[in-house]
A = this chain, B = another copy of it.
Amino acid sequence: MAMQNKNDAITARDVDFAQWYTDVCRKAELIDYSPVKGFSYYLPYGYAIWEEIQNYLNKEFRKRGSHNVYLPTVIPMSMFNKEKEHIEGFAPECLVATMGGGKQLEDPLIIRPTSEILFSDMYRKMVSSYRDLPQINNQWCSVVRWEKTTRPFLRGSEFLWQEGHCLFETHDEAIQNAMTFLDVYDDCGKDLLAVPFVKGVKTPKERFAGALNTYSIEALMHDGKALQSGTTHDLGQGFAEAYDIKFLGRQNKLEVPFQTSWGVSTRMIGAVIMVHGDDNGLVLPPAVAPIQVVIVPIRQKEAGIMEACTKVYEDLKAAGIRVKLDDSDKTPGWKFAEWEMKGVPLRVEIGPRDLAEGKAVLTRRVNGQKDTLTLEEIEASIPGLLKEIHQQMYEKALAHLNANITEAKTVEEMKAILDKGGYAKAMWCGCQECEDKVKELTQGGTARCVPFGVEAFSDVCPVCGKKADKVVYFAKAY
């Protein structure tokens, strides 16, 4: 089996992880650079992954009573200034339009970096009674944040995301909503991306600008760095007060509602690349793969080969599998390398020898495992095989995560862990000074979250030595 161009196309993952990542993004044709720094072209293959994520989340959101809406791309600057923490958090990274229709604008327009303000304004008009609550609405859009350092999918001056924005009568309902959608994101990792997340609450320092609490899911990349992959926010009543949202409550008095927001972005694609990818390129979990099965004919001009391949193709297509038959005039070795680079989970080869035996060889992208099946078995077997592949990928990622959470009782231990890569599991007294000190002493380690359901293993803060009752996972992060 000739593997032409197999490894020479991209940098090896353990030689230069950052370069490997960029190589995969480009060679797998996920993304390309536009003329403006930090703004990307999402190419057909890369965007198709995002569409699978959208399909999954739209279904799950709808089950939980969410509706989609669309709000403007622009926010008047005058309006942006009403919620103080929020404007302070976002002002430095805003893109601002000052000219419209050839004239200077009186009130400049900020290209939306997030839409809490516009949702608040919309709700001010939509909601007047407790009968209008809850409001659970979501928007798919792009947001713009002027970034100095940018990387495909991970940090862009523009990126694609969804942002849910909700209103409730009570704080309890709001907190419940933030938890519910955090679970949706966590399930998306399990069911779709084969990425295990650590779920938890952010420290006050790492909260969203204007939130009472931020909850997050954190993924661990192959290089041992963490990637915040989704957040949900309990916004309390701050935005509602600043933007004057009120409703007539059950006791016939005007009340201020409680608000949440939640979002995931194309960062999820970055997580998939960096958790599963290898030296041959992308490795996609079947549920999110634009092409789940690729059929490669061997000696395709010989009698019967294309007929057999086409039969398998038609059967799989009819069964709802996302399948591609590569009948181009490239060599089989070239095709193998190309579809490996693009991370297609399962390859079906049919050559003259296979055909003579009425069989085909199936190769799994994740681990190279081969299965030989009769042509009759293929259609019925593939859904199960794809599930098995998903499970193998998830378990591999989970093993990597679990092997890289290490208890640390001193800052020195924390530094050693973070230098190697992975989470330092440490006790924390709760003060930001200690958090800052960890960052300084470990050269960049941040509190990823206070993970849910993890028990204290000591009662001493490793930084200040004072009483500590919270477990925090620290890591270097993207």
Chain A 44-71 against B: per-residue CB contact (8 Å), 1 yes, 0 no? 1001101100000000000000011111
A36-B76, A76-B35, A99-B98 are known contacts. Are A160 and B71 too (CB-CB below 8 A)?
A: no
Q: In the complex, what residues of B have CB within 8 A of residue A68's CB?
A: 44, 47-48, 51
Contact of A93 among B35, B67, B101 (CB under 8 A): B101
Stretch of A140-148, A178-186, A301-309 contacting B (4+ beta carbons < 8 Å): A140-148
A39-B72, A41-B72, A68-B47 are known contacts. Are A95 and B99 too (CB-CB below 8 A)?
A: yes
Q: State the CA gap A137–B91 with chains docked (Å).
A: 35
Stretch of A2-10, A117-125, A392-400 contacting B (4+ beta carbons < 8 Å): A117-125
Q: Are A36 and B74 in contact (CB under 8 A)?
A: yes
A97-B111, A98-B97, A99-B96 are known contacts. Are A73 and B41 too (CB-CB below 8 A)?
A: no
Q: Specify how many copies of this chain sit in the oligomer.
A: 2
Q: Smallest distance from the beta carbon of A368 to chain B beta carbons, Å?
A: 29
Q: In the complex, what residues of B have CB within 8 A of residue A118's CB?
A: 34, 41
Question: Which chain B residue lies CB-closest to A147?
Answer: B101
Question: Which chain B residue lies CB-closest to A141?
Answer: B142
In the assembled complex, A109 has its CB within 8 A of some CB on chain B = yes
Q: State the CA gap A95–B96 with chains docked (Å).
A: 10
In the assembled complex, A42 has its CB within 8 A of some CB on chain B = yes
Q: Are A32 and B122 in contact (CB under 8 A)?
A: yes
Q: Smallest distance from the beta carbon of A157 to chain B beta carbons, Å?
A: 8
Q: State the CA gap A44–B123 with chains docked (Å).
A: 12
Q: In the complex, what residues of B have CB within 8 A of residue A93's CB?
A: 101
Question: Which chain B residue lies CB-closest to A290?
Answer: B67
Question: Is chain A's binding surface mostly helix, strand, loop or mixed?
Answer: mixed
How many residues on the A side are at the interface (Cβ–Cβ under 8 A)?
A: 56
Q: In the complex, what residues of B have CB within 8 A of residue A310's CB?
A: none
Q: State the CA gap A69–B48 with chains docked (Å).
A: 8
Interface residues of A (CB under 8 A from B): 32, 34-36, 39-44, 47-48, 50-51, 67-74, 76, 79, 91-102, 108-109, 111, 118, 121-122, 125-126, 131, 137, 141-142, 144, 146-148, 157-158, 160, 328
Given contacts A41-B118, A97-B97, list 18 more A-B pairs with CB under 8 A. A32-B122, A34-B71, A34-B118, A36-B72, A36-B109, A41-B70, A42-B69, A43-B126, A44-B69, A47-B67, A50-B70, A73-B144, A74-B95, A74-B111, A92-B101, A94-B101, A97-B111, A98-B99
30 contacts between A and B (CB under 8 A): A32-B125, A32-B126, A34-B71, A34-B122, A35-B121, A36-B74, A36-B109, A41-B69, A41-B71, A42-B69, A42-B71, A43-B69, A43-B126, A47-B68, A70-B160, A73-B111, A73-B142, A73-B144, A74-B111, A74-B158, A92-B101, A94-B100, A95-B109, A96-B97, A96-B98, A99-B108, A100-B146, A101-B147, A111-B111, A131-B328
Which 9 residue pairs spanning A and B have beta carbons closest together?
Answer: A101-B146, A44-B67, A39-B72, A42-B70, A96-B99, A100-B146, A97-B97, A41-B122, A34-B72
